Amino acid sequence: MSDEKKLKIEQSKTNDVLFCRLIGWLDPNTSPELLKQLDLKDVKTLIIDMKDVEYVFSAGLRAFMQIQRMIDSTGGTLKLINVADTIRSIFEYTGFESMLEPKA
């Protein structure tokens, strides 16, 4: 059995809104899979639920930066919701806090 961390990606699309739920780790092995699986065709709003994300490595941050660029190029919006405080601090420290939903 492998110790390798996994990422599960669940997606649902309604009109031009794509809701994506991530479960697991965003690391150098799983981040390319996220980029590959996201279908951003005709998407104006991408909401990524981070409730079950355990950790985000720098490769995960790069993936979100690429996703942000793709969404920006179509005039769309990216929002990360339900981000744990430990992961939120990584986004804030690296200057990516604009992707985060405001804290309640």
Residues 69-85 have pLDDT tens digits of: 999 999 999 999 999 99
Alpha-carbon torsion, ordered 29, 56, 6, 19, to 10 deg:
-110
Pairing of strands 77-81, 7-14: unpaired
Q: Which residue in the block uniquely carries the two structure tokens 């660029």? A: 69
Answer whether 0.85 is exceeded by the pTM: yes
Give the model confidence (pLDDT) of 43-102 as tens digits: 999 999 999 999 999 999 999 999 999 999 999 999 999 999 999 999 999 888 888 887
Q: Give the three-class secondary structure for 7.
A: strand
Domain extents in the chain:
7-98
Alpha carbon distance 63, 45 (integer Å): 17
Query: pLDDT tier at 104 (50, 70, 90 boundaries)?
Result: low
Q: What token pair was written down for 51?
A: 């409730």
- What is the dotted CATH code of the domain comprising 7-98? 3.30.750.24
